[in-house]
Structure 1
Amino acid sequence: MKISYNWLQQYIQLSEPAEEIGALLTKSGLEVEGIEKFESIQGGLSGIVIGKVLTSEKHPGADKLKKTTVDIGNGTILPIVCGAANVAEGQKVVVATVGATLYPTDGEPFKISKAKIRGEVSEGMICAEDEIGLGKSHDGIMVLQTELPVGTSAAEYFKVENDYTFEIGLTPNRADAASHLGVARDLRALLKREICKGEEKSLPAPKEKLNFNVSVENSEACPRYSGLVIKGISVKESPEWLKNRLKSIGLSPINNIVDVTNFILHDLGQPLHAFDLANVGNTVKVKTVAEGTEFVTLDGNKRRLTAKDLIICNAEKPMCIAGVFGGLDSGVKADTTAIFLESAYFSPDFVRKTAQHHGIKTDSSFRFERGTDPNITVNALKKAANLILEIAGGEIASDLIDIYPTPIQNFEIETSFSYIHKLIGKKIPSETIIDILSNLGISILEAKDDNLKVSVPPFKVDVQREADIVEEVLRIYGYDNIEINTKIRTEYIADFPKKDKAKLHNKLGNLLAGAGFSEIVTNSLTKESYQKLIENSENPVLILNKLSEDLGVMRQTLLFSGLEVIAYNVNRRQKDLKFYEFGKTYFKTEKGYTEKDRLALFITGNQHDESWITKDTPSDFFTLKNFIQRIIEKLNIKGLAIKTISNNYFSEGLDYQIKGKTLVQFGKIADKILKATDLKQAVYFADFNAALLLDLLSENTVYQEISKFPEVRRDLSLVIDKGVTFEQIKQLAQSKERKLLQEVNVFDVYEGSNLGDNKKSYSVSFYLQDNEKTLTDKVIDQTMQKLMDSFEKDLGAIIRK
């Protein structure tokens, strides 16, 4: 939607520059997406002045050219070579000076420069109207009849209008702001200035009343219908002021009648339609028609109407799709001498369905679909009619028709100042709230103690609840004026539901199933003998009436029940297995009993099925670690600390912790644990704290833009003590370079007597990348030197070169 700065000033006095007004509107919810300068004549006639021809004589070197001197004021006399036959001494003419850019009616813009034409110096150009974009005539130069002194700018003589146009991204709920009047209402509240609507002229009484009949057969689709007849008009070009108003918002002037209806549409937000009275006759019916009725719209397309389309008809046939599009035959033409001018309020639902069905979007349907003001139809009609009488002549030839059987009432909303303060998060003075609402056109019915009761006019279609009142106050008061509390609390606004376990199970279950894992569900009852294999185990939950010794206690780990499943499969020649299980473990405490949610992973056998194209590769510790890393990345978990495991489950293993809590322990199961379940092949096991996984589950997926700058790899070979792990190297590197270092990877490990006792060598790759610019060799070298210094100092590493 486009709004003109100058047009706004017809309603409210503005001294602020357009950029400041645009910023105010954006903060209030009317987002200004751009501001463009508008000139009624392209280029604004800059550098073009009124001059007087002092001499005019034949060019010595060309028969069709004349050599002139022109006074352009301030004692400046310009020699100008002119090709126009009508140039003569004593004329006042339009002169483009050196440096001026001309925007001709046809053709590309060009700049005036000092030149020699057939040997004679020419320092400007005497212009025809088409050469400066004023018309299409090129019969000769423009000769002015004016008393204005030479040197006067052509912009002043031709009354060039400069304006600024706001491009507003209007949201669907702000139908009240789809006009200059609507935007001015917001500015009234923002700037605390009065709106000047101008003097409302009454219509002249008709000298002769035509016998004219209007009937509304579907008042649900058309709650209000207003109109009148004007005869004796002359359809012609609109005056400059009206054309400039329309041009400033991107509309092309058509003729004075159509231009008036477009002007009122964008001025007041009320769509109008002018029918040629010769096509209307003396009858207008607002109704639906039979399904499949053919109708040719203004664009020349033949359309089949539905039984739910609201149509404006004469006594015999359709003339217009109400609120959407006019008909080809009923519109104003060059020879139209009388019109029926319509101003109505159509139901948004009916207009929306019709516009969507026929695929038609017009300025009228845009406003009717969102909701116009039912109380402005008559005022808009009067303003349009007076304008038409002023610029097209004619006289009123009927009574003002206004069919409004069931007036649409204001919305009454009861709220409280304390509720407004609570939702905003700040106590705003009651007087400020009342002023804001009043300036927006919302009447205050009661403001006593904490109670507030208001009456909202129908044009504010988006204000029907308490929260809407708060939004109106807040957008004018200013979101930037609400301080952020150091102790932010949001529980008074919304409840935060508990995270759903099912989402975690589905998310990780899909990931693991896709990686070849099968889900198992095992019994929570297990052997009491397994309990003795657990170091530092808590008191088991014993079953008082146990069915057997194999089902004597509640399990404290998912390990043994999973190993039993593996043993069962291995004994049946299914040796390559990957299992996962979501389950509970149970414990006895001083206060009673408790249970914990766990996720267990089991891997045993070969990584892949036997195949001629790949060798058998046994699963190992790093196979399991890879799947654990995929789970961590899937849940976007950061900031893990890694420690070695010191319990009797694993012969080798790691403990991943976050903020001091164990997230997962994993590794190779110790032989004495395997022996308890009669297993002889290696098994790798991971035990996740599922409750902690659920806490770390994010409801939102975070996406990061891929950098458009290249990544750089640098490799180092480090000789270090055998007790130094790769994880130490990685964490040290990441702590020393947080911005550029994207990834650290070890791609070779070597141990040999030539390195010395208790030494090993790591070959490590470092990936560097800057998301804002391409890395230079200098920056890369400085970064790598910083890392090498840290490795030598903190880890005692020797850098092999």
Structure 2
Amino acid sequence: MKVSLNWIKDYVKLPEDMDLTRLAYDLTMSTVEVEGAEDLAKRFEHMLVGVVTEVCPHPNADKLRICRTDIGGGDIREIVCGGTNLTAGMRVAVACPGALCRWHGEGEPVEIKESKLRGVKSYGMICAASEIGLGDLFPTDEEAHILDLSAFDIAAGTSIADALDLHDIILEIDNKSMTNRPDLWGHYGLAREIAALYGLPLSRFRPFPRDLPAGDLTVTVEDPERCPRYIGAELTGVCVKPSPFWMQSRLWRAGMRPINALVDITNYVMLATGQPTHAFDSDNIQGHIIVRRAKEGEKLLLLNGKDLSLSTDDLVIADDAGVVALAGVMGGAKDSVLPTTHKVILEVANFNAAGVRRTALRYDNRTEASSRYEKAIDPQRCDQALELAAELFRQLYPEVEFTGLVDHYPAPMACKELDVALSWLERRLGKPLTQEDVSHKLGLLGFTTSFSGDTMHVTVPSWRSTGDVSIQADIMEEVARMYGYENFEAAPITTSFDGAINQLDKDLERRIKEYLAIRCGLQEIFTYPWMDEQYVNAILQDTTGILSLSTPPSPTEKMIRSSLLPNLCKAVVKNERYFTDFSLFETAQVFRDENYTAPYDEREKLPSQRKHLGAAFVGSDKDITTLFRRAKGVVEAMPRYTHMEAYTLRQVEKPVWADTVVWLNLYLGEEHIGDLALLSKKVSMECGIKNLAVMLLELDMDALIPFRSRTNTFTHLPEYPMTDYDVSVLVDGETRWDAMRDAILEKRHELLHGVSFVDEYRGKQVPEGKKSVTLRLTIGSAEKTLTSQEIEACAASAVKRLAKHVGAELRGK
């Protein structure tokens, strides 16, 4: 935001010897970040007013002319110029050698030098407004028109800065540094801060009489929550004419283009007070003004030419004939100030910040007004805006008459009140404070205070009560910045450590990532938190409970991820072009429209958010068995290597995206925590995966239970040899390997140290409905070398348990 120091001086009288560097530093350290300060007059160094005494044709160029120009004190210089509007006696802007100008208003500034143009020597340059940066202040439709200063009664040789009163300092304020300070989005707000910093008096606006009758003006506010206050003032005796140069100049310095007196007054008031205003042509308002929500199908043509189809969430200004303005954003083209306007209705209103923000974003139409409303302006500021506007109307239109005034303010805003302990402030700031000092510092900012013992009761001024100051820490910040942050001495932080915090869940997540990436060779990926509809429809199929973004990055990516699998499959498709054998994994939060929680306030409910692990094992569709075993091995071994409670793999309920045969569910106790399965051929084709098999894993990491400490124990290597003893048994074709393992190990023989799966056979030598399973028993003793009889006895015990629990028969008997 650009701020004129001369404008600031209207409201606070700065010392003549005020150091600009110090002012910028103090504002930056206490209030807002000053990015730069420009002495405006320096833009126009070596530029002065010249009077053209004679215009002669150029002997060697049809479009150029030679202008004999008085540059002061009777010093006549010849300047070659191509301006089409040059006449004798015309006052012009002359850039003398050394000045910086932009040719035809474009490109980088170049230094003007004495030179020859088509063989004729030219002293300097007679400039168009755009060439010296005054294009917005002196607009023209003709590119070759020279800046005509004949309307200004100034002598030849006067510097441009003196002639146009451009001696001013322009402060460039970083908008981000005052996002939470709506009171600073106008010159008066910054003047109030400067007055507080230096203890200077602040000027007030001239009061406006509030006892005026409503006259024929009526206002109805149907949505007081979105429009807490609406002031309408009807004026006659006005017309469309240029505003005075001093007003145009101030608007230009603040970065706005002058339009006409009526519009310029509304913009001037906004830049001065931070409160937007708008003027309607009263003759075009039919009936009375209504502030309401837009109706379905209503349309509005804005001042900038945009034709909108309105939403029922939009707040609008309407009359009996329809919508005339988009509240807080922009007025309509047919009802705002027109060339024939002679009577206006001035709107000074307060609109809800969130509503204005939504509307401006919906139509991609952020304006100077909406930028201020969406910061949450206080309703009391409407009074300042009305007072300044009335003064300006009287100044620019001596015949103006206020014929009606309506102030709809049913629920005046209550100022925020807080209790803060002085001892708490001292402890937090590390500086002894007195009641008098604190009360004085806060009083300069408009806060009122009272004390009851150690407790200070603070009433926040209206312009800081819209969310900026709401907790004790905000009061502490106000006191600290008024003392000056540089006036606080650094002190060592004192604290006590009660012991390290062991975040088991974070450690487990780290171990899982290291296990997958280092031991298992998977590549970690990171994807966006939204999902593509193509993969959602293919994999999840049911979109119930999936949250959507209000402003998605693209029309097909509006759903927030409720599963990691769609994005994993999208990553597989992208990598499929380069690799045929690879594995990916990702850990990230997933969101579901269920189990809402409100950690701080019921109005801030959050969806269910769980941390998930997703992985994709990709290989040739000709060797699915190897791919399945690899994926299953990674999943089965993970609890051991990452030190967490083991889960089990069962077949209970097939995921909708899975193959009909190759799938497993992960259970921790009786809780279903994930799935491991082969992506079905149909889903693979819908995702665009060709000629590859994909094993997918999704696991709820929040359900995993890490061990509180490592469970590994030291065991001596056996001193006596262990024996591997293979047995082949016939079992029912549906018998699972894990059931056989559990049967053997439940009450194992004392010499049995382990059992593992070797092979499975079905064929002619095996009865129908049966299968032959070969198991390897690890048998041994820590005390001696076993005899063959002892080994046979241990193996027989294992076979006996298999026969009892799964009906196994030793093959060949």
Report the TM range for the smaller structure's normalisation.
0.5 to 0.7
1:495, 1:255 → 2: CA distance? 70
Q: Give CA deviations for 1:343-383 in whole Å, capped at 9, x if unaligned.
A: 11223343344444444422222222221121121331232
2 CA distance for matches of 1:246 and 1:430?
Answer: 43
Secondary structure of 1:275's counterpart equals: strand
Q: 2:340 aligns with which of 332, 335, 344?
A: 335
Q: Matches of 2:721 and 2:7 in 1, distance apart?
A: 85
Give the structure 2 partner of residue 595 of structure 1: none
1:180 matched to 2:187? The reply is yes
Q: CA deviation at 1:105?
A: 6.0
Q: Is the 8 A contact 1:260 1:388 kept in 2?
A: yes
Structure 2 match to 1:369: 374
Runs (5+) with no aligned partner, structure 1: 524-555, 574-673, 680-801
Aligned to 1:223: 228
Give the alignment partner of residue 22 of structure 2, picking from 20, 23, 26: 20
Alpha-carbon contact 2:3-2:254 (below 8 Å) kept:
yes
Quote how far apart the aligned CAs of 1:292 are. 4.1
1:512 and 2:512 matched = no
Q: 1:48 aligns to what?
A: 48
**SS of equivalent to 1:421:** helix
C-alpha distance in 1 between matches for 2:234 and 2:382: 15
The correspondence for 1:295, drawn from 300, 315, 326, is 300
Q: 1:438 to 1:328 in 2, by over 3 A?
A: same
Match of 1:588 in 2: none
Q: How does 1:652-731 map to 2 (within 5 A)?
A: none
Partner amino acid, structure 2, of 1:191: Y
Q: What are the equivalent positions in structure 2 for 1:69-80 lying under 5 Å apart?
A: 72=71, 78=77
The residue aligned with 1:152 is 158
Cα distance in 2 for partners of 1:566, 1:388 equals: 106
Q: How much has 1:341 moved relative to structure 2?
A: 0.7
* CA distance in structure 2 between the partners assigned to 1:128 and 1:356 by the alignment: 38
2:36 is the alignment partner of 1:30: no
Q: CA deviation at 1:217?
A: 2.2
Shift of 1:458: 2.7
| 1:431-470 alignment, distance < 5 Å | 431-444=436-449, 446-460=450-464, 461=466, 462-470=468-476
TM-fit CA distance, 1:130: 7.9
Is 2:291 the partner of 1:286? yes
Change beyond 3 A, Cα 1:350–1:557:
closer
Aligned match for 1:501, one of 504, 507, 520: 504
Q: 1:114: which partner in 2?
A: 114
Q: How far 1:121 moved relative to its partner?
A: 5.2
2:491 match: secondary structure: coil
RMSD over aligned Cα atoms? 4.5
* TM-superposed deviation, 1:399: 2.8
Deviations 1:310-350 (A, max 9, x none): 22211231222222332232221222222111111223343
Shift of 1:481: 2.1
CA distance in 2, matches of 1:433, 1:3: 30
Q: Which residue of 2 aligns with 1:471?
A: 477
Shift of 1:110: 5.5
Q: Establish whether residue 348 from structure 1 lines up as the match of residue 385 from structure 2.
A: no
Percent identity, aligned pairs only? 32
Residue of structure 2 equivalent to 1:167: 173
SS of 2:349's partner is strand
3-state SS in 1 of match to 2:462: coil
Distance 1:297 1:141 in 2: 32
Quick one: distance in 2 between partners of 1:567 and 1:354? 82
**Paired letter, 1:170:** S
- State the SS of the aligned residue for 1:520: helix
Structure 1, 563-572 or 353-362: larger mean CA deviation: 563-572
Relative to structure 1, the CA distance from residue 478 to residue 139 in structure 2 (aligned partners, 3 Å threshold; closer, same or farther) is closer
Q: Do 2:252 and 2:258's aligned partners in 1 also have CA atoms closer than 8 Å?
A: yes
How far residue 434 of structure 1 moved from its aligned partner, in angstroms, is 1.4
Per the alignment, residue 98 of structure 1 pairs with: 97
Answer yes or no: is 1:3 the counterpart of 2:3.
yes
Aligned residues: 538
* C-alpha distance in structure 1 between counterparts of 2:120 and 2:712, whole Å: 104
Aligned-partner residue type, residue 11 of structure 1: Y
- TM-score, length-scaled by structure 1: 0.58
CA deviations on 1:726-755 (whole Å, 9 max, x unpaired) are: xxxxxxxxxxxxxxxxxxxxxxxxxxxxxx
Q: CA deviation at 1:226?
A: 0.8
Partner Cα distance (2:97, 2:403) in 1? 59
Question: Would you say 1:190 and 2:193 are equivalent positions?
Answer: no
Aligned with residue 427 of structure 1, among 422, 432, 441: 432
**Rounded Cα–Cα distance in structure 2 between residues aligned with 1:273 and 1:348:** 17
Distance in 2 between residues matched to 1:258 and 1:283, nearest whole Å: 22
Q: Distance in 2 between matches of 1:303 and 1:214?
A: 24
Three-state SS of the structure 2 residue aligned to 1:398 is strand
Residues 73-128 of structure 1: per-residue CA shift (max 9 Å, x gap): 57966566788999999998765433334456656665443345677655445668
CA distance in 1, matches of 2:504, 2:723: 32
CA contact (8 A) 2:719 2:782 kept: no
Q: CA 1:427 to 1:306, structure 2 compared with 1: closer, same or farther past 3 Å?
A: same
Q: Distance in 2 between matches of 1:331 and 1:69?
A: 47
The more displaced of 474-483 and 346-355 is 346-355
Q: Structure 2 CA distance, aligned partners of 1:74 and 1:9?
A: 35
User: Are 1:261 and 1:274, in contact at CA under 8 Å, matched by a contact in 2?
Assistant: yes
Q: Residue 682 of structure 1 corresponds to which residue in structure 2?
A: none
After the TM superposition, which of the residue ranges 346-355 and 233-242 deviates more from structure 2? 346-355
Tell whether the 8 Å contact from 1:437 to 1:473 is kept in structure 2 after alignment. yes
Higher mean C-alpha displacement, 501-510 vs 366-375: 501-510
**Do the aligned partners of 2:92 and 2:127 also contact (CA within 8 Å) in 1?**
yes
| Equivalent in the alignment of 1:622 | none
Q: Is the 8 A contact 1:11 1:197 kept in 2?
A: yes
What is residue 481 of structure 1 aligned with on the other side? 487
8 Å contact kept, 1:205–1:396: no
Q: CA deviation at 1:160?
A: 3.4
CA offset at residue 393 of structure 1?
Answer: 5.8
Q: TM-score, normalised by structure 2?
A: 0.57
Evaluate the alpha carbon distance shift between residue 676 and residue 214 of structure 1 in structure 2; reply closer, same or farther with a 3 A threshold: same
- Give the match's secondary structure for 1:285: strand
